[in-house]
Amino acid sequence: MIIKFFTVTSVIVLVLLTISLLVLPLLLPPLPPPPWMMLLVPVLIMALLFSLAFSPSLEPNIDFTFV
């Protein structure tokens, strides 16, 4: 059952977070858009992650042993 995975405290925190995400955008004024240079930050992070994911390993002899 799902009840085993969540404690009462974690459910309360998740419910409060959900309520705040639903209510706060209605109460707070809209923010101006960020400068275009700041919009490049997620793109640069994703490019770095892609290059790390697809770059060859520096370890010369990687041995996988399946048990």
The answer to whether position 13 is within a domain reads yes
The answer to whether position 36 is within a domain reads yes
Amino acid letter for position 23: V
The answer to whether position 59 is within a domain reads no
What pTM did the predictor assign?
0.47
What does the pLDDT read at residue 1?
52
The answer to whether position 64 is within a domain reads no
Instruction: Say how many domains are in the chain.
Output: 1
- Select the more confidently predicted residue: 8 or 5: 8
Q: What residues make up the domain containing 20?
A: 2-54
What does the pLDDT read at residue 41?
96
The answer to whether position 44 is within a domain reads yes
Over residues 19-55, the pLDDT tens digits come to 999 999 999 998 899 999 999 999 999 999 999 999 8
- Select the more confidently predicted residue: 15 or 62: 15
